Structure 1
Amino acid sequence: MSVPAPSPESPRLPLPLPPARLVQVLGERPSPVVGWLANRVMDAVCALPDSWRDGLARFVGWLAFTLGIRLRVALENLTHAYPELSDAERRKIALGAYITMARVVLESIDEKEHVETGWEDSQREVQGEAWEALKASVAKGQGALLVTAHFGNWERAGKMLLRRGIPLNALVRPLKGALNMRIVDNRLAAGAGLIYPKGAIAEAQEAVRLGESVLMLLDQSLPAKAAVFVPFFGRPASTTPAMAVVAERTGAPVFVVMGIRDESGRKLRLEVEGPILPPEGLNGRDAFTAHTAAVTAVLEKYVRRYPDQWLWLHRRWKVQPPPEAPATPQG
């Protein structure tokens, strides 16, 4: 069933508790003094009015772009993805990606439950057959596999799902530093369980059997031996087969979930697509590759639709397939 949006006059819905087995935090915390000081600075930033914080995000994004931090990587990626665009058009997309990243960071360190412009927008009901199919799966006590990307605000998108009654465990990497650890703590406070790469497939299978859903980012590069290679913007991209493996072993449905910003950049809406079924007539690695390719194609569709909301700053195509493992052809 759907979760109604709280009104300013009504109490907010309590956040769920993450599964007890998935609350372990792996990573490296700063020293107590550094951690305390960093958190007080982040508290001060979070206390700013929404419009000020968004202005700060825009400035930080512009500054990183102007200083050229990873700009060469972003422009190389955009040149391959959009050869038909002018350099000025590609630079405009890149600037938007920097601002998106700054917004994600500032929004993700906030520990408070806002009932402000962005929060109210995120509480609007999600529409569509895919959302209804996902809710129906959860209502029957069945887990689902949810796929997203470094797009819009993936952290808030997960929280939006939790607020709508979707039990959620996120596949994450161990992090370090005060900022990253604050984001991890906020994930747990929001009700998400944490699944780390070591033993991730077994943990994800267990979560699905318990009726929980697993959220994973499918746009990160992996070493060639651990990856399948699928087309992404016309180039082979090394991608984890974990989603396809767990789907095959559990029969869990696969949905793409994207948190998309509006034109102002401050409001977010949730879009769900699926279930994306595994291919018929294939087995083993071929089936995992084809299923991963189908889901990646949906991610690419959203990136093409909103190119400034994806992080072109990371080396998505840095790992190339070995000669014996060619990429799956498009079409």
Structure 2
Amino acid sequence: MTERSTRTYHWGYLPLQWLLMGLAHLPLSVLHVLAGGLYGLMHYVIGYRKRVVLENLRNSFPEKPEAEIQRIRKGFYRHFSQVMVEILKLAAMSDEELRRRVVIRNPELLSGPFAQGRTVLALGSHAGNWEWILPAGALEFPGRAYGVYKPLSNPFFEDFLFRLRTRSGAHLIPMRDTLRDLIKRRTEGRAMSMLTDQAAGPEDRPYWTQFLNQETSFYSSADRLASQFNCPVVYVNIKRVKRGYYELVILPLHDGTTPLDKDGYVVTEAFARHLERDIQAAPASYLWTHRRWKHKRGA
């Protein structure tokens, strides 16, 4: 790990830290068993964000019968429980085990621009196990994996997640420093990873498009940055192969040489279409607890 969070937290969080680290040292097979109990708790007892999940699923798949919606809902909670323990496992997982569990497809789409000293914008989403993307990329491309993130308000969880995300040598860039960092490191061959599927508000200069049968806002910064800095852009999807094993699939969105309209949204639209296709192929693997459609155009 090359970085540490500068956030400090109250000593009262230490028992929680010891508990989490103790759990992280359990074999992943044991953690997946525990995930079964977590699934039962979230799905049957607490009903964690049940209304949000059902509303998102019904609006996204109006053609599906209610029985199919309920089946996807249960599959999502099962998947989400497994992802939660897999994220925790990062705190004690060896590099060898992470390499074995994440296979990267089409890495040449990154290594080629890296050799030319170019920054590649890698656009991801909350599909599959999104927290394994950056650490796995850092192992495949040492010193070249950077992630844009929004710091958490809770100092303990900010510090804990910071250490998980940088455990294999990745670097983190606070969202507010994205432009400054691109200017500073524009000639360094590296990937700048951004999860761009969250709800973009009016202040974020959103791009609106039809997505999963709904009018949806997307962050559009990738188009502006790619146009300004001539960055290649790739789409990143982490697909579940089986429990605890994933494929990190990299696909091209923009070559970085074809001129882009600085006020256009070619890249963001292409991202939306790739993401829509992948969600439709594996709907239970997407993060449905997020209030993705809370913003309305013109509101």
Go from structure 1 to structure 2 and tell me whether the alpha carbon gap of 1:282 and 1:244 turns closer, same or farther (over 3 Å shift).
closer
Deviation for aligned residue 1:219: 0.8
Distance 1:53 1:218 in 2: 29
Q: Please point out which of 124, 148, 154 is paired with 1:171.
A: 148
Distance 1:204 1:234 in 2: 35
Distance 1:317 1:278 in 2: 31
Matched, 1:189 2:167: yes
Map of 1:321 onto structure 2: 297
Contact 1:278 1:290 in 2 (8 A): no
Map of 2:236 onto structure 1: 257
Deviation for aligned residue 1:281: 8.6
Read off the aligned partner of 2:226 and give its amino acid letter: A
Distance 2:79 2:183 in 1: 33
Contact 1:143 1:209 in 2 (8 A): yes
Aligned length in residues: 294
Distance 1:303 1:90 in 2: 14
Read off the aligned partner of 2:280 and give its amino acid letter: R
Distance 2:98 2:172 in 1: 25
Q: Secondary structure at the match of 2:250?
A: strand
Q: 1:168-189: per-residue Cα shift (whole Å, max 9, x none)? A: 1111111125345312112223
Distance 1:89 1:218 in 2: 28
Map of 1:150 onto structure 2: 126
Structure 2's unaligned 5+ residue stretches are: none
Go from structure 1 to structure 2 and tell me whether the alpha carbon gap of 1:82 and 1:192 turns closer, same or farther (over 3 Å shift).
same
Q: 1:68-98: per-residue Cα shift (whole Å, max 9, x none)? A: 2111111111111111222222122222222
Q: Secondary structure at the match of 1:195?
A: strand
Read off the aligned partner of 1:291 and give its amino acid letter: V
Contact 2:200 2:219 in 1 (8 A): yes
Q: Please point out which of 179, 199, 204 is paired with 1:221.
A: 199
Go from structure 1 to structure 2 and tell me whether the alpha carbon gap of 1:116 and 1:133 turns closer, same or farther (over 3 Å shift).
closer
Distance 2:162 2:95 in 1: 22
Matched, 1:56 2:38: no
Read off the aligned partner of 1:54 and give its amino acid letter: H
Deviation for aligned residue 1:117: 6.5
Q: Which piece of structure 1 moves more, 60-69 or 243-252? A: 60-69
Q: CA RMSD in A?
A: 2.5
Q: Secondary structure at the match of 2:167?
A: helix
Matched, 1:304 2:283: no
Deviation for aligned residue 1:318: 0.6
Read off the aligned partner of 1:268 and give its amino acid letter: Y
Deviation for aligned residue 1:119: 4.6
Map of 2:248 onto structure 1: 270
Q: Please point out which of 109, 112, 127 is paired with 1:136.
A: 112
Map of 1:231 onto structure 2: 210
Q: Please point out which of 65, 72, 75 is paired with 1:96.
A: 75
Read off the aligned partner of 2:162 and give its amino acid letter: V
Distance 1:282 1:234 in 2: 27
Go from structure 1 to structure 2 and tell me whether the alpha carbon gap of 1:70 and 1:42 turns closer, same or farther (over 3 Å shift).
same
Q: 1:225-252: per-residue Cα shift (whole Å, max 9, x none)? A: 3222233213222221111111111111
Deviation for aligned residue 1:142: 1.6
For normalisation by structure 2, the TM-score amounts to: 0.88
Deviation for aligned residue 1:115: 6.6
Question: Residues 16-31 of structure 1: matches in 2 within 5 Å?
Answer: 17=2, 25=6, 30-31=9-10
Distance 1:62 1:83 in 2: 27
Higher strand share: 2
Deviation for aligned residue 1:278: 8.1
Distance 1:76 1:247 in 2: 34
Go from structure 1 to structure 2 and tell me whether the alpha carbon gap of 1:195 and 1:92 turns closer, same or farther (over 3 Å shift).
same
Distance 1:138 1:25 in 2: 29
Contact 2:118 2:186 in 1 (8 A): yes
Q: Secondary structure at the match of 2:215?
A: strand
